[in-house]
Amino acid sequence: MDAPVTVLSVFGTRPEAIKMAPLVKRLEQTPGIRSLVCVTAQHRQMLDSVLARFAIHPDYDLDLMRQGQTLTTITVGVLEGMEKVLTDCTPDLVLVHGDTSTSTAAALAAFYQQIPVGHVEAGLRSFDRYSPFPEEMNRLLTSRMAELHFAPTVRARDNLLREGICQGVHVVGNTVIDALQQMVHESYRFHSGELATLPLSQGRWIVMTAHRRENLGEHLQAICRGVLRLVEAHPDVHLVYPVHPNPAVRAVAEAVLGGHERVHLIAPVEVEDMHNLIKRCYMVMTDSGGLQEEAPALGKPIVVLRTETERPEVVEAGMALLAGVQEDDVASAGERLLTDAALYHRMAHAINPYGDGHSSEQIAQIILEWSRARRDMA
Ligand code: UD1
Ligand code: UDP
């Protein structure tokens, strides 16, 4: 019998963890695969909360997060840390996810040791190298280094083909749908005490998140002012905003939105609470990538608090309004969803473009086939 193929999954931030977790669980159960996990801990508490929910016990933990970390310090830390990990466990394949500093630096570390890289959620493009920053460049660089590309949609695959990346590209949907299906239940009870006490059955609830690096400062202030106008104009509207722990985010959120009786600024919530919160809300306003996939899958319209998106499928499918980052634009997009019942209904009933929740299974099978083909050629 052939030796198993050793797959090292590397991730470090909350969104990577949420989308890699169902895949790691699937790899663990797949005969013929030996699954190892390395976390960089680019995020700490937000990462650990996901690891705990999915009962993932990393084989390696680089423990990198520092207050005030920079793109350089994260990248250098991942490169140095991964060099030792890769030398120690010599995987056949390194899996990275998406577009963070962790994923690009981990792919580069693997490339330096000539270890093949598989890229999960490959092929997303905003076509603006500075927005989202630095994620668009991270994606481009990781695509160049990867041998296996797991694209969530046909459009993402086509982006890769246009860049001349034609080998090893597979359309598999998004693993976030796999995660959502395990999490959302009608009778769900929130773990977070703060969420459990919110009167979610009264009025209309907006779930907001905003943290993007290119929005920090003036844009985030304008976004918050636009959202506050909606709450002030509609007495039945409540806002719940789990605020990213980055001090630059927290300071603005508290300064602009703090103190209003229908605004609830809360600490980040664990993933299961978050998915069920989205399921129970009226709509989502966000600059997050992951929420642009989750909200449509849960039938919730989204206002995207950005000037571009690498997920145009959601806008084209009629599930999202791309509002931009100016106060008036944010307020008017939100206003449309609060006042135009026909628009709301249409947006809430469009079809999610990210698959049926079997992405992890497909990726595991593709890895096995790839490994067999490599061994046959050796
Ligand atoms: C990172 C990713 C971004 C992703 C986001 C998800 C990069 C360049 N950016 O950005 O693509 O959308 O994660 O949230 O990789 N912090 C904590 N505890 C935590 C996590 C963060 O205190 O568990 C604070 C720390 O002060 C940290 C700061 O947040 O220094 C920023 O974290 P960092 O990973 O550098 O950037 P994000 O904006 O989170
Ligand atoms: N999320 C969470 N708790 C929160 C806020 C967000 O579990 O308090 C989840 C959210 O459901 C999604 C992911 O975190 O799965 C998105 O992460 P984030 O917005 O940090 O990053 P992005 O998707 O923008 O890269």
pLDDT, residue 209, reads: 98
For residues 81 and 199, membership in a common domain is answered with no
The closest of 196, 210, 183 to 18, measured between CA atoms, is 183
pLDDT tens, 199-223? 999 999 999 999 999 999 999 999 9
Q: 180 lies in a domain? A: no
pLDDT, residue 136, reads: 98
Q: What is the pTM of this model?
A: 0.97
**What is the Cα–Cα distance from 133 to 212, expressed in whole angstroms?**
8
**What is the Cα–Cα distance from 300 to 324, expressed in whole angstroms?**
19
pLDDT, residue 378, reads: 84
- Percent of the chain exceeding pLDDT 70 equals 100
Of the residues 124, 138, 209, which should be mutated to test ligand 2's pocket, given the most ligand atoms within 8 Å of the CB?
209
| Residues involved in catalysis | 99, 121, 135, 211, 213, 244
For residues 116 and 240, membership in a common domain is answered with no
Q: 108 lies in a domain? A: yes
Q: 185 lies in a domain? A: no
pLDDT tens, 283-304? 999 999 999 999 999 999 999 9
pLDDT, residue 377, reads: 87
280 Cα to the center of ligand 1, angstroms: 27
Cβ of 101 below 6 Å from ligand 1: yes
| Pairs from 67-75 (Cβ < 8 Å, separation ≥ 24) | 67/247, 69/42, 71/101, 71/134, 74/40, 74/42, 74/101, 74/102, 74/105, 75/101, 75/104, 75/105
Q: 186 lies in a domain? A: no
Domains identified in the chain, total number? 2
Q: 181 lies in a domain? A: no
pLDDT, residue 1, reads: 67
For residues 118 and 135, membership in a common domain is answered with yes
The domain of 64 spans: 5-174+356-377
* Rg of the chain, C-alpha, whole Å: 20
pLDDT tens, 73-105? 999 999 999 999 999 999 999 999 999 999 999
Q: Point out the residues of the chain with pLDDT beneath 50.
A: none
